[in-house]
Amino acid sequence: MHDQPTPEQQLQTSYRQSNVIWVFGDQHRAQAMGHRGDKNVSTPNLDNLARTGMQFTNAVAGAPWCCPFRGSLLTSSYPHQSGVDRTPSALDPNLPTVVQPLREAGYHTAWIGKWHLDGSNSSEHYVPAERRGGFDYWLGYENNNNQEETYVYGTNQPDPVRLDGYETDSLTDCLIEHLTGHVQSSRGSDGDYQPFFAALSVQPPHSPYVPPSHDSSAFYHNPADITLRPNVPQVQWIEEKARLDLAGYYGMIENLDANLGKLRAALKHLGIDRETYIVFFSDHGDCLGSHGQWEKSSPWEESIKIPFIIGTVGGNYHMKTGLSPDMINHVDIAPTTLGLCGISTPSWMQGFDFSDRCIKEGRPEHGQSTAPRCAEPTSAYLQQIPAKFHRHSVNKPWRGILTRDGWKYVCMPDRDWLLFNIHEDPFEMANLCHDTVFQAQKERCHRELQQWIEYTGDEFPLPDIALS
């Protein structure tokens, strides 16, 4: 029998190779998880990850649209700064991404799944090697809306290969296979191996809302049994469509949750569960009938709020647990990821490093600079840059903020539009924008929105909101 390591030895072991895995779906709204109170869905693996990790309950997609979010995710810059301001858009391959500082720190980097950063909406689009963000290993596709028929291109694979099975299942298997090969091939006689950063990006639960057909009984929901959110209008066609779509949506989320469990088990089998952070999030939410809207690109909570959980599988001696009210935004994910690895935030990143919300004081550090840390934002900047003419969706550009104390303020060009107190009105049923009782709050939010526009170099015509 081997002697059990001391807590100090376990701390050093769990830190010396801090791996990070991003796991994210498309259009998974924050409210659609068991631990967030949604009784329509069962998410035991997400619930456990939240229970043993840090859950950011106010995380947002500051640009709730596929390509703009992904561009900000990788570059830690706002959509109007990166040029990825709409779907589809291509990410400039000359822009630095989160991959560069990770590789400089000795990390192996891998991307598996949906890319959607090469300017196309086609499932047949080939992403050239030089336009894959600098990842060491890349297996993915540009875009796909048929989860049962997914074709991927690989690092040394110019021809598409059809995945065997439902997209989320197959891509998770691909990730596990790659990480297993990497850890085993790079592990030395002392047990050390090259640390890694990996991303698993899947299309579900994006529309069409179709869960796996091979195991339909496991992920089946009867539309008639779906409980709608209070902000879904009591209009027959809206309620019927919402229930039908949500039934499939919840099945897709449960399948994603099952694959998260499969990944957690694989990390434990490899013996790297304590030293590997799983960062679970989404690129934006989905209204699915709330306020009579569908899908993304609107400022409602169902569209902008995303799951965001940082945790490990086997427990980690420097991992904090609990709830964080901080509004982590799309630009903050890359610097926070670097912080989990002990890597300082490069000067070109716009976001804030929230990793100290997850890591106890006294953790051994490496690669940290002595440069002063930027101030934590007091609000999250929200953007829809071009008009988007999708049905059942807002077809105007808009800008907004969500403040730390729960105020949301949104403007269309030259027009004040929305003002909500999210703490008191989480379903956004009372628009206070044109109620003079709340003029002071509105003016405070307006000033902060103007500051964000100026700070980021954005261009947007704000209205004159002075009372006449």
**pLDDT of 340-392, one tens digit each?**
999 999 999 999 999 999 987 655 544 343 344 567 899 999 999 999 888 88
Residue linked to tokens 């004159």: 464
What stretches of 292-388 adopt beta strand conformation (E)?
308-311, 322-324, 379-384
Q: How far apart are CA 296 and CA 299, in angstroms?
A: 8
Q: How far apart are CA 396 and CA 142, in angstroms?
A: 26
Cα Rg of the chain (Å, integer): 22
> Which of 16-20, 35-39, 192-196, 373-377 is the least confident region?
373-377
Q: What average pLDDT does the segment 441-466 reach?
A: 98
Q: How far apart are CA 326 and CA 379, in angstroms?
A: 9
Please say whether the beta carbons of 403 and 447 come within 8 A: no
Q: With the C-alpha atoms ordered 383, 66, 313, 254, is the resulting torsion angle positive or negative?
A: positive
Percent of the chain at pLDDT > 70 equals 92
Q: Using alpha carbons, select from 57, 9, 39, 1 the residue that is nearest to residue 310.
A: 57
Please say whether the beta carbons of 46 and 309 come within 8 A: yes
Residue 2: its pLDDT value, please? Answer: 32
Residue 98: its pLDDT value, please? Answer: 98
- Composition of the chain by helix, strand, coil, percent to 5: 30, 20, 50
Q: What is the pTM of this model?
A: 0.94
Same CATH topology for 9-357 and 379-456: the answer is: no
Coil, strand or helix at 355: helix
* Residue 468, burial from CB neighbour count under 10 angstroms (0-12, 13-18, 19+): exposed
Express each pLDDT in 386-438 by its tens digit: 998 888 889 999 999 999 999 999 999 999 999 999 999 999 999 999 999 99
Q: Using alpha carbons, select from 209, 265, 227 the residue that is nearest to residue 44.
A: 265
Count H helices, E strands: the chain? 10, 14
Amino acid identity, position 427: F
Residue 61 CB coordination number (10 Å):
30
Q: What's the CATH architecture for 379-456?
A: 2-Layer Sandwich (3.30)
What phi and psi values does residue 107 have, to the nearest 5 degrees?
-90, 145
Express each pLDDT in 30-63 by its tens digit: 999 999 999 999 999 999 999 999 999 999 999 9
Residues in Cβ contact with 304 at an 8 Å cutoff, skipping those fewer than 6 apart: 60, 61, 62, 64, 284, 285, 382, 402
Q: Which two tokens stand for residue 98?
A: 């989160």
Q: How far apart are CA 113 and CA 118, in angstroms?
A: 14
Q: How far apart are CA 422 and CA 419, in angstroms?
A: 9
Residue 465 CB coordination number (10 Å):
16
Residues in Cβ contact with 114 at an 8 Å cutoff, skipping those fewer than 6 apart: 26, 140, 141, 142, 143, 144, 201, 202, 203
Domain boundaries, the chain: 9-357, 379-456
> Which DSSP letter does residue 215 get?
T
Q: How far apart are CA 197 and CA 133, in angstroms?
A: 13
Please say whether the beta carbons of 27 and 253 come within 8 A: no
9-357 CATH fold:
Alkaline Phosphatase, subunit A (3.40.720)
Q: How far apart are CA 197 and CA 338, in angstroms?
A: 10
Express each pLDDT in 51-97 by its tens digit: 999 999 999 999 999 999 999 999 999 999 999 999 999 999 999 99
| Bond before 158 cis per omega within 30 degrees | no
Please say whether the beta carbons of 381 and 409 come within 8 A: no
Coil, strand or helix at 200: strand
